[in-house]
Structure 1
């Protein structure tokens, strides 16, 4: 079948480009262990190359060679290096191809649909060729000793996080571990910056970075004192984030022994998730400075009940909740609250008394102010 029997080549390219635009608006592909922020930019570059190669194949009848499609296979190898399995990489390619093809057919004018459907064998042949190239390259690289070493290290880190059993480079005398769980902001446009941040973190000595769909987990180990290890590692993370300007959060926790790592990992995950949901102002969240936020975030099904403690404020007048938030943010200083709100201190006192009357909790009493603080956090998380 010749290309003249279907829409002209330029029209075919334009229509395929429209379909890619639709797919981009749908959010693009997702991997279980690779953040979307690291996938989107390169992925759509790969789609554009695929479209160009496919249209050329339709025009000339010559299947693209491994050299022609090298950038496509390199993107697939990057996904494998970041922790995705070969079945997931190939499955994602096949699924995306099927989604794009179905959309292309559905957008075609009915008068041309039969001609377009006749392209299906060529589409299948092209996809099979790309999948074969990806699988062949993956098999070639799997024999590389460096690949085997990376897999052993990845397995060792997974075992440490899950069971607290240290092996390989993680099995050191008097170890101290720091676990940092990153939660990215969900902005695919920052993929270049995210890659730069990842590279900076991986350049830190004695660090293993494992990616997942929300960001990544970083394990750092040392035989120095826990305080020294945490302080230096946190400073390095801060420097890396400031240099890359990536919008993200890192929950961080430490463990004095390998057996304590799973608990530290759980705490770091909770801190990162809570910081993300609250749009936390600081990049790094730790248990010492985010105790209330962490505990409220971990309350699960009890969250609505805690949030209900401050529900009467919004029902009465939003100014009462606003005043309470600023008052708590200003360390319960009424004068500082009045200055920030540009009102007389008596106005703040009156509003806080209304908070007391509406909620039954006195914000001028430390313990009850802490309860109100927790309730506001629960409201933000609900």
Structure 2
């Protein structure tokens, strides 16, 4: 303790001994100005980064040294309590401010990193402060649950505890963004993102997790994050229920959606005739989705749709008649399947083309 006292700057106890001696001698309590001076010094001590234990020890040592020989504990201890309480108030307020500033800086860094804003060199320097080395490959995983989360909610806190409890010494970053949980990890450490996915899926009672491809540098992290978000969007549009999605497995969908006008033309020219069917396009489009998802196996498709094979065959024939494309013909199937995927990406026919 003596060593800690030695390293605590005396200016944070400026006037403390004199205040105690005078107040104890006259039997008065500390004045408002005296208490305010203690609060101000407490705030300065916190801002300077001094530990609370050393500061308390220094105050107690000073109180013992300044203790009037004629004063009783009942005269001095209430004054020490008053002074320490005011000092602690200033110290805690300053610490809360520092925490808020740190959190704001962390949030700003995460936003800049995920959205590719700011100078790459400056981002790299800031990243070291938060445990990332941007010279390495990194991958981003994004978890989405039934509700939106922020970092104070129980689910993200449990996931974070489980993640860092197992990978305490890894250079990883966990946060929440737009109601989703986000984990950034070195690209060669798949076990980290796998564990995150497992914990997030369990913690959200069946939510989905998407993992972007490993990318290099700050810009690469932003791209990996966007890939994960796109994978979640594709899964929602396509009805994929897998608990963990890998962006690398879904690259065809962004390619299809990249030229929106071409996709609109394909869906319109190929599938719009289905709207002439009784009941509209939806039943026949659902039939095509089930047919292609079943590997074009009629019996499995009928089972999924709770139809007889005969009823399914009628629907496929009806699709052939309306569109002029035979879904059972391998040479014609690709165009129809691509248009069907496009319809799901465009949310047609729920949303008009």
TM-score by length of 2: 0.54
Q: CA deviation at 1:235?
A: 2.4
In the superposition, relative to structure 1, how do residues 248 and 314 fare at CA in structure 2: closer, same or farther (>3 Å)? Answer: farther
Q: Runs of 5+ in structure 2 lacking a partner?
A: 1-89
In structure 2, distance between residues paired with 1:154 and 1:380: 34
Choose 1 or 2 for highest CA Rg: 2
Cα-Cα RMSD: 3.8
Aligned to 1:67: none
* CA offset digits 1:137-174 (Å, max 9, x no partner): 66433446x974x666655544543156534132266x
**Quick check: 1:326 aligned with 2:290?**
yes
Aligned to 1:166: 124
3-state SS of 1:313 partner: helix
Q: CA deviation at 1:282?
A: 1.8
In the superposition, relative to structure 1, how do residues 331 and 360 fare at CA in structure 2: closer, same or farther (>3 Å)? Answer: same
In structure 2, distance between residues paired with 1:279 and 1:185: 15
In structure 2, distance between residues paired with 1:298 and 1:208: 30
Aligned to 1:57: none
Q: Pick from 312, 315, 323: which aligns with 1:359? A: 323
In structure 2, distance between residues paired with 1:302 and 1:214: 33
3-state SS of 1:288 partner: helix
Q: Runs of 5+ in structure 1 lacking a partner?
A: 1-134
Q: Pick from 269, 288, 291: which aligns with 2:251? A: 291
Aligned to 1:248: 207
8 Å contact 2:213–2:224 — kept in the other structure?
A: yes
**Quick check: 1:233 aligned with 2:192?**
yes
In structure 1, distance between residues paired with 2:211 and 2:334: 27
Instruction: Map residues 65-84 of structure 1 onto 2, 5 A cutoff.
Output: none
Q: CA deviation at 1:363?
A: 2.4
In structure 2, distance between residues paired with 1:200 and 1:297: 37
* CA offset digits 1:292-351 (Å, max 9, x no partner): 444455556777555544343354145422321211110121232234445454543342
In structure 2, distance between residues paired with 1:185 and 1:323: 28
8 Å contact 1:193–1:246 — kept in the other structure?
A: no
* CA offset digits 1:263-313 (Å, max 9, x no partner): 222222222233345553123322233334444555567775555443433
How many residues are treated as equivalent by the alignment? Answer: 237
In structure 2, distance between residues paired with 1:192 and 1:357: 55
Q: Which has the higher contact order (CA 8 A, sep 6+)?
A: 1
Q: CA deviation at 1:209?
A: 2.0
Aligned to 2:141: 180
Q: CA deviation at 1:240?
A: 0.3
8 Å contact 1:270–1:298 — kept in the other structure?
A: no
In the superposition, relative to structure 1, how do residues 273 and 347 fare at CA in structure 2: closer, same or farther (>3 Å)? Answer: closer
In structure 2, distance between residues paired with 1:361 and 1:139: 71
In structure 1, distance between residues paired with 2:239 and 2:93: 39
Instruction: Map residues 197-236 of structure 1 onto 2, 5 A cutoff.
Output: 197-201=159-163, 203=165, 204=167, 205-221=170-186, 224=188, 229-230=189-190, 232-236=191-195
8 Å contact 1:330–1:336 — kept in the other structure?
A: yes
In structure 1, distance between residues paired with 2:289 and 2:266: 16
Instruction: Map residues 41-190 of structure 1 onto 2, 5 A cutoff.
Output: 139-143=94-98, 148=102, 157-161=110-114, 162=116, 166-167=124-125, 168=128, 169-171=131-133, 175-186=136-147
Q: CA deviation at 1:198?
A: 4.5
